[in-house]
Structure 1
């Protein structure tokens, strides 16, 4: 798409450009109104080349990090710039428990894959389960989105939900505890 820069982690990519010149990314000789070639990033599409000041993009990347935004799109006439942050550091666990202690208190449902934890099937829908709900073996407890695929996570035991260990929308790792169930 014209004027859109999309990289898995644009902020990291731009930081890595310091001290490096790649002719595919930089162009022009610069003028009083435009930054020199070493200070611009260009994107091509549909026969047009659009340039952006790299310092401006760095400031936008800092804004993404500081405000916790995942995407930012700027449109200025024919120029359009979309910055996306992918992944990022996982938030700290909501409750720390030693593994031997966890098993004593109830059965843990763990994440079978890396992705994003969702408590509800759609943004406006009620959560699949709440603390105190009785669940049956095979019942859907949550969704983990991985590589744009929604994966239903089902209970492997019947019981009562004691604790939901992950916040809605938080990234999860393989094997990370998601729910604590009191088996019945």
Structure 2
């Protein structure tokens, strides 16, 4: 089971309203709890001696995540812009490495599948790809900053 499948499972459980879901397969054990102060996901790799644990927390007040991590922005009159949100927790990087240029700047035209940034989680660098086409209007996170699940990263003008 890869990270995308785990993220989709978390979204599905959040939408379903279930308070707890446990999934056990040959090499992985996942427990997703909702309805407490925050949504918590625990992932354990079973065959290892010391199993790694991933915990993801989302704010209580936030509604369930939309089908895609892009949702309309409703603050400061930015109704026409779409917000691209973080699909995972980790450290946000605008560049693939320190000596390379940033993936996108304000004003950059993007299309579906373009890499927008990298989020490092547990020593894994996850490329975050755009699920929409448009123009970057604003970068909402500073480089090398920690980000939470579902935190807004970019504002995009889809027109």
TM-score, normalization by structure 2: 0.52
1:170 & 1:139 partners in 2: Cα distance? 21
**Runs (4+) of structure 1 moved beyond 4 Å?**
none
Shift of 1:105: 3.9
Which aligned pairs between 1:158-169 and structure 2 lie closer than 5 A? Answer: 158-169=133-144
Q: Does 1:100 align with 2:74?
A: yes
Question: Separation in 1 of the partners of 2:117 and 2:89?
Answer: 14
Report the structure, 1 or 2, having the larger strand content: 2
Unaligned runs of 5+ in 2: 1-72
Superposition deviation, residue 150 in structure 1: 0.2
Higher gyration radius (CA): 1
Match for residue 119 of structure 1? 94
Classify the secondary structure of the residue corresponding to 1:171: strand
CA distance in 2, matches of 1:127, 1:179: 14
What is the root-mean-square deviation of aligned Cα atoms in Å?
1.3
What SS does structure 1 have at the residue aligned with 2:75? Answer: helix
- Alignment counterpart, residue 124 of structure 2, candidates 129, 149, 154: 149
Deviation digits for residues 64-109 of structure 1, max 9, x if unmatched?
Answer: xxxxxxxxxxxxxxxxxxxxxxxxxxxxxxxxxxx53276140011
Displacement, 1:118? 0.2
How many Å separate the matches in 1 of 2:124 and 2:113?
A: 20
1:1-184 alignment, distance < 5 Å: 100-101=74-75, 104-184=79-159
Structure 1 CA distance, aligned partners of 2:84 and 2:106?
14
Would you say how many aligned residue pairs link Structure 1 and Structure 2? Answer: 86
Q: Distance in 1 between matches of 2:82 and 2:115?
A: 16
Gaps of 5+ in 1: 1-98
User: Counting helix residues as a fraction of each chain, which structure ranks higher?
Assistant: 1
- Secondary structure of the residue that 1:100 maps to in structure 2? coil
